[in-house]
Chains A and B, each alone.
Chain A
Amino acid sequence: MNSNLYALIGLGVAVSFIMALKGLSAPKTARRGNLIGAFGATVATVIVFFDPSIEEGHNTLLIIGAIAFGVIVGVPAARRIQMTQMPQLVALFNGVGGGAAALVAIVEYLNLGESASFGEVLATVFTVLVGSVSFSGSVITFLKLQELMTTRPVVFPGGRFVIAATLAGALGTSGWVIASGGTTPLLILAGLSLLFGVLFVLPVGGADVPIVISLLNAFTGLTVAASGYVLQSTLLIVAGTLVGASGTILTRKMAEAMGRSLFGTLFGAFTAKPQAAAGAGEARPVKSGSPDDVAILLNYAQRVVIVPGFGLAVAQAQHTVRELADLLAAKGVEVAYGIHPVAGRMPGHMNVLLAEANVPYEQLVEMEEINPTFPQTDVVLVVGANDVVNPAAKTTPGCPIYGMPILDVSEAGNVIFLKRSMRPGFAGIENDLLYDAKTTLLFGDAKDSLTKVVSALKNL
């Protein structure tokens, strides 16, 4: 293919990615934006086979086979995944992207051999280091979110020194690669970086995990840009940089939504002591009610706010909760949903779920707007949420969620918790609100409980 035409198509693809990101930042254009990006990526994948610099026919069948295999793995995973498990899938996709970037850099390094320029070696070292961190870090976030390992921060004695030593080792090895070249130091660098990725994410716990996913996403973008430098591909430089830059902004916005500095999120766990669980709390009495009690409370309320959380997602109760809300609205009760920015496992998780159940957009109220209305609210129905309404975020300095803005549900007349058990939330801290006199607990799967409340309400 003519090299100018090739470059021009590459430029078109880069523009499609800008349009994709732009589209994705507004609800109306989001889906179209994503499709534009997908189209651009497809075009780029097809035309790269006509890249003027590559030898015709070399390994082509093998490459096409590998792509087909990737599609066979990736598409069903993306199609079949439950909406509740989406965050960990995104983390995993991000991780394999980082791994791919690191591999590309290693292969190109082997290929260039002695002829690699200083800049190319530098970019290779960066890509291998950051790509490997992104890969192993994402795998750990996946394991945490999938609850294949503990969701709490993992802090071990001397952990800080081990982390610092690993990082120093990785940086030192980087210097070694740059100074002397050779394959062995690069592989040692990859190994140390993988280890650092694991150690870096282990102490991050609870609600901070989504922020780390977003950060690793931005990292992967930068590695793609660096590989673009080594491979002399403008498209990779532009696309990778776009993701790196927008990902950084997004990470900051997420951290802001949770009321904490990025620095605190990433390094807070390094210094935090493992939180002593409030042992005295476990024996305290709670007030649990029946579905009928809950139905009566709701029936005679003027205003009800529903606070959804991860439990709603797990139970797939979004349709049932909407049924309940419609029923209440028909009885003249004012209903709104209080959406915490990080309810669920990812910012915006609840909006996605409730949109699936066709909940009118106007009923989804963001935290800043709903908080002042709680004193005028008769009943708050907390469906499978915990950390986002936990007053410990305000009252207990040093607890993992301290400083995170919460929904002030304790200001309302009554609080009803639909919970599976007394188990603490994702952040692993006790919630004092559960023991409050105005709190009623209804144990069980959120969907079952809601179904029972709906039928009780119909019989009133």
Chain B
Amino acid sequence: MTTMAILTIFLLSVFVGFEVVSKVSTTLHTPLMSGANAIHGIILVGAILVAAEAKSTLETTLAILAVVLATINMVGGFVVTDRMLEMFKGKGGKK
């Protein structure tokens, strides 16, 4: 990938990131933060990639540790966000 292509992707993502949360209500600050937190757990993909390439014992150990931490971040993040949002259910129906 060229640096220019990466820069383009980066900048466009910045604007999308700004835009999607621009109208969030205070009520949802916490779940949104928690959901975004779970999304950066996608570093798991990176951890798997480096773990699959790791050669030395040191590299393997660090990479596997990264896989464990990233999994906790991703899976735990989505589960805890769902638990928060579970409590909002039914409200839409009542209104």
Chain A residues in the interface with B (C-beta under 8 A): 13, 17-18, 20-22, 24-28, 30-31, 33-35, 37-38, 41, 44-45, 48-49, 51, 53-55, 58-60, 62-63, 66-67, 69-71, 73-75, 77-79, 81, 83, 86-87, 89-90, 93-94, 96-97, 99-101, 103-104, 106-108, 110-111, 119, 213-214, 217, 220-221, 223-225, 227-229, 231-247, 249-250, 253-254, 257, 341, 346-349, 351-353, 355-356, 358, 360-361, 364, 366
Contact = CB atoms under 8 A, between A and B. Distances in A.
- Main DSSP-derived SS at the B contact region: helix
Interface string B1-45: 101001001100111111011111111111111111111111111
A355 B88 CA distance: 6
A38 B35 CA distance: 9
A214 B33 contact: yes
A229 B29 CA distance: 29
A66 B92 contact: no
A356 B15 CA distance: 34
Interface string B29-71: 1111111111111111111111111111011101111111111
Given A18-B20, A49-B48, A347-B26, A37 B43 contact: no
Contacts of B30: 86-87, 90, 346-349, 352
A27 B91 contact: yes
A121 to B, nearest CB: 14
Interface residues of B, number: 84
A231 B44 contact: no
A277 to B, nearest CB: 31
Contact of A41 (B59, B78, B85): B78
A249 B15 CA distance: 11
A202 to B, nearest CB: 22
Contacts of A27: 25, 27-28, 88, 91-92
